Structure 1
Amino acid sequence: MSERAPLWLQGADIQQLLNLLVDRLDSADQRGTRAQSVALGAKTWPALYDAPFESAKETLWEHLGEIVRWGWLAVKPDGVTKLRSGYDRDPRVTVLDEAALRAAVGRPERVRSASERWREAVFAGLAASEEVKRQVGEFCIDMPDRTVDEVVARLNELPALRNKSLLLREVSAQLFWGMSKVLDKRQALVAALLGLDDCPFPESPVQLQVYLPSAGFRGVLFIENLMTYDRAVRSTSPEFDGLALVYASGFMGSAQRLRTPDGCSLFFSDRGGNARDLRDGFKAWLFGKGAQPAYFWGDLDWSGLRILAAMRSSFPELTAWQPGYGPMLLALLAGQGHSPEAAEKQGQKAIASTGCPYADDQLVPPLRQTGRFVDQELFRP
């Protein structure tokens, strides 16, 4: 190529092909392999193959031939670029001069992914053994307003907090410029950095709102949504007689720490019984020293059933509350449900089994068949 590149090299049609080839180079580099040849066709070079006129196709093909003569690319079968309609011969393109190709599209090097940049920063800046670096490298921390080097530097300050009585989110806030949630679900990272089997900093206590019937309770009902919980507390329906009502917000209710005194903060409703023996009885059940039936009532959708399944890991006796789900099931079968898209729930994934026979036999099949959901708030207790 002459010192001055032709204007057509910067044209959108040629740049489309060149950028595709650089994309393939980047993908191969990320995988640690060598880029393969690229078959030309409507999917790889639509500007040529979808062009409305043969003259336009032939002009683009001539430009490709020129690039081949510069030594940037090779095209098989040999000599195909010399044919006026060689693009119809199933050609394949191989990059010969990567530097020149990258310069032509203004992409001198591959942009590293966040995970790659994180691992590079960890191995370069973390004050730890190679094995610990490897473990920490699996937990990418990507902050839009901080470089990965800055984040790794803050991780080097973690050992100084080791013996302090802090919650995990307090540790996060102290390390990461006041941001308290950075270490959520990264306890293994903390443990690895401190050389421990488990993270020494507990998570924030789960806060439970609890209503206790004045006459005592014969079972416990976890309710997913706050509005429904409040309605149930105020309800005179006999369905709630003898039930302690608990507001369990989303998956928070599934946390194992909920069943330990240090991992749970209880807030008892002033509408319920205030006797100390009532509260002590509930605490005894919650912390594993009592035996009472337990139920869950939430939205009739995949997310609600996943909460049920997750909570059963903490409460193996937990089952779906039939007096609540029964009317919701009838509404679903009567066509009153809504589509996932209507309530921005299209991301919910179906669950095969919750472990609760009633939910698995009576609720899961209709959800699959109808493809629709029913919100708990449709029913006023």
Structure 2
Amino acid sequence: MNEPLWLKANGTLQLLNYIVDKLDAADSQGKSLVRAIKLDGKSFPALYKSGLEEEREQLWGFLQQMVLWGWFYVKLDRPQSGQALYECNPRLSILNESEVRRVTGRPVRIRSSAELWREAVFVHLNSDESIKETVSRLKVEIPGRSAEEIVHQLALLPSIANEPLLLREVSARLFWGQSKVLDGRQQLVATVLQQDECPFPEMPVQLQVHLPQDGFSGVLFIENQATFEQATRDSTKRYHDLALVYSSGFKGSAKRLRSPSGSSVYFAAHGAIEEKQTAKFIGWLRAEVKLHSWFWGDLDYAGMRILAALRDVFDGLAAWQPGYEPMLDRLRKKEGHAPDEAGKAGQGVIEETGCHYADTQLLPSLKVCGTFVDQEVV
């Protein structure tokens, strides 16, 4: 059609550009413009700020023509006596975005990869809004794959969360055989799985083990390396009859500890290294030999989570009372530290571990006192 001159007039273009601004603003947030636009002095100043009745009627007529063309739909309140239609609280809905953009010379904005990723996350990831918000800031790009395809695969993570896999094995399984997609993206994995740490290690878990010279009948996991080193050289017989084990990141890697391909064992040279003793430990680790086992770490919620994670793998594992009792005594004497004093303010409360001693003594005391005690004080 031959377009009328008024379509390019300043008053009309002000309205049309305002409409496109609203469309672009909604698009930048990954949304569609669903709310009608109220026509007033802000959206259509040429009409509503004009002091001439004739000019207002003319501009309203231009809008009505665009309605007849199918560009817009305008909803009005019931007019009162003597009211002009543009005074009846008009609300405009957009029916033909492409024509509005053509006239204004403003085509659909090319959306950034970050915007496409955010939209895909909020549409395809079945999680809480807070989880989606975090994941939307952790963009993954794979050449030749759309954001929707990647998020769809990422959403499958919970289905393999309990399998003893390395991080690159997970990546290859999810992302079309590409093993390095999740390198350095442990936070993304942990967020999708709603866990504190990524459960898939980059490499087999390395276990440092000290075996007593006189043999052992139980196994003690120790959270902190300094305490482990001190314990391996202790001369008080406090750790008599115990194989001592240390590994960084017990909680995140607990499921892999018993898998032959998931953990590597290194025996301390200043402990027993005879084949009979080392074979006994390996037999216990691979669930071929039954031994009692315990965990001892910081008296805080992170330590209790490690305890709970290890209990999922080692039947009957419990909190080690000889280690925790003096720490518990300090806690009750108000000799602990506030979480924010040691960078632990982000530790969430854990309700139970499954260990009777921890659930009836340690956790209740942590909640009442509101402070923590580090393992190294003992």
Calculate the TM-score normalised by the size of structure 1.
0.59
Q: Which amino acid aligns with 1:143?
A: V
Residue 340 of structure 1 deviates from its aligned partner by 3.5
Structure 2 counterparts to residues 286-325 of structure 1, below 5 A: 286-325=285-324
Contact 2:168/2:180 (8 A) holds in 1: no
Structure 2 counterparts to residues 31-110 of structure 1, below 5 A: 35-36=34-35, 60=42, 63=45, 77=77, 95-96=93-94, 99=97, 108=109
Q: Deviations over 1:208-232 (max 9, x none)?
A: 0001111111211111222222222
Residue 100 of structure 1 deviates from its aligned partner by 8.0
The equivalent of 1:160 in structure 2 is none
Q: Which amino acid aligns with 2:31?
A: S
Residue 344 of structure 1 deviates from its aligned partner by 3.6
Contact 2:26/2:32 (8 A) holds in 1: no
Aligned residue pairs total 301
Q: Deviations over 1:108-158 (max 9, x none)?
A: 3774235728999xxxxxxxxxxxxxxxxxxxx9436856359989xxxxx
The equivalent of 2:183 in structure 1 is 181
RMSD: 5.1
Gaps of 5+ in 2: 1-5, 50-58, 125-137, 151-164, 190-200
Contact 2:299/2:373 (8 A) holds in 1: yes
Which one of the candidate residues 17, 22, 25 is aligned to 2:26? 22
Using the alignment, how far apart are the partners of 1:238 and 1:37 within structure 2? 78
The equivalent of 1:227 in structure 2 is 226
The equivalent of 1:264 in structure 2 is 263
Residue 309 of structure 1 deviates from its aligned partner by 0.8
Gaps of 5+ in 1: 30-34, 41-57, 121-140, 154-165, 187-201
Identical residues among aligned pairs (%)? 35
Q: Pick which of 96-105 and 347-356 moved more.
A: 96-105
Using the alignment, how far apart are the partners of 1:27 and 1:343 within structure 2? 42
Contact 1:251/1:307 (8 A) holds in 2: yes
Using the alignment, how far apart are the partners of 1:106 and 1:343 within structure 2? 53
Structure 2 counterparts to residues 346-357 of structure 1, below 5 A: 346-357=345-356
- 2:309 partner SS: helix
- 1:112 partner SS: helix
- Is 1:208 equivalent to 2:187 in the alignment? no
Contact 2:205/2:247 (8 A) holds in 1: no
Q: Pick which of 348-357 and 224-233 moved more.
A: 224-233
Greater Rg by CA: 2
The alpha-carbon distance between structure 1 residues 92 and 352, as it changes in their structure 2 partners (threshold 3 A), is: farther
Residue 269 of structure 1 deviates from its aligned partner by 0.7
Which one of the candidate residues 113, 130, 137 is aligned to 2:117? 113
Q: Which amino acid aligns with 2:97?
A: A
Using the alignment, how far apart are the partners of 2:279 and 2:169 within structure 1? 30
Contact 1:37/1:93 (8 A) holds in 2: yes
The equivalent of 1:190 in structure 2 is none
Calculate the TM-score normalised by the size of structure 2.
0.60
Using the alignment, how far apart are the partners of 1:204 and 1:261 within structure 2? 13
Q: Which amino acid aligns with 2:303?
A: G
Q: Which amino acid aligns with 2:8?
A: E
Contact 1:254/1:314 (8 A) holds in 2: no
Residue 241 of structure 1 deviates from its aligned partner by 2.0
Q: Which amino acid aligns with 2:360?
A: D
Using the alignment, how far apart are the partners of 2:300 and 2:144 within structure 1? 40
Using the alignment, how far apart are the partners of 2:281 and 2:240 within structure 1? 16
- Is 1:3 equivalent to 2:8 in the alignment? yes
Which one of the candidate residues 139, 143, 149 is aligned to 2:140? 143
The alpha-carbon distance between structure 1 residues 119 and 175, as it changes in their structure 2 partners (threshold 3 A), is: farther
Structure 2 counterparts to residues 125-164 of structure 1, below 5 A: 142-143=139-140, 148=145
Structure 2 counterparts to residues 355-366 of structure 1, below 5 A: 355-366=354-365
- Is 1:340 equivalent to 2:345 in the alignment? no
The equivalent of 1:195 in structure 2 is none
